[in-house]
């Protein structure tokens, strides 16, 4: 596992293998791989897929541990409206939306940019929204050991919008709570704050 890298660096052997598979798929659906617009599509698609699944090679725990600081602050810390882009493992179509995350420190805080990076690590894998929510929640809870942690994700799923039921305006919300956020008053404070416009 490596720490978070947002760089488009590709293993050439793996890229060539995935490129070959995309060439076969394009050919099988009846397209002409020699058409101008498709000449470089297998390579582009291979690199896109490797980028969108780079979370398998990243370690979210190490990201958090690399930016933990002793601090006596013990009130709620919220990072809301974190963009989420992932691939549904059922159809390999995108789902996208926002994550809202809070934790109550217990002797340590973490660099604020690390929370969105943890979201990216788990989102850049084949996922379902329910597991994504839990992966983020458990990683933060087990690594920071805070007094509590809360995660809410709101997302739209292309597998529902483009195919199947074809409902363009539906949004799926998932949530998870640990520690102090299992208390209704703390949970309600969090939910009120993520739904309000404080700017």
Catalytic residue list: 88-91, 129, 157, 159
* Other beta carbons less than 10 A from residue 160's beta carbon: 19
CA 150/CA 105 separation, integer angstroms: 12
Determine how β-strand 126-127 pairs with β-strand 77-88: parallel
The tokens describing 5, both together, are 């890298």
CA 78/CA 85 separation, integer angstroms: 20
Angle at 122 between CA 134 and CA 117, to 5 degrees: 110
CA 169/CA 160 separation, integer angstroms: 10
């Amino acid at each position: 596992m490596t720490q978070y890298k947002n760089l488009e660096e590709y293993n050439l052997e793996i890229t060539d293998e995935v490129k070959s598979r995309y060439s076969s798929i394009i050919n099988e659906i009846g397209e002409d791989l020699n058409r101008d617009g498709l000449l470089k599509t297998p390579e582009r698609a291979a690199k896109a897929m490797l980028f969108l699944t780079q979370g398998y090679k990243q370690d979210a725990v190490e990201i958090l541990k690399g930016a933990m600081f002793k601090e006596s602050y013990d009130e709620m810390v919220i990072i809301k409206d974190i963009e989420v882009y992932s691939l549904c493992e059922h159809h390999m179509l995108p789902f996208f939306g926002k994550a809202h995350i809070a934790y109550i420190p217990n002797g340590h805080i973490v660099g604020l940019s690390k929370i969105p990076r943890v979201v990216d690590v788990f989102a850049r894998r084949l996922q379902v929204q329910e597991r994504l929510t839990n992966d983020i929640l458990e990683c933060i809870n087990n690594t920071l050991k805070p007094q509590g942690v809360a995660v809410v994700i709101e997302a739209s799923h292309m597998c529902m919008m483009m195919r199947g039921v074809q409902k363009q305006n539906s949004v799926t919300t998932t949530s998870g709570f640990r520690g102090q956020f299992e208390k209704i008053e703390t949970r309600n404070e969090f939910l009120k704050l993520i739904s309000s416009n404080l700017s």
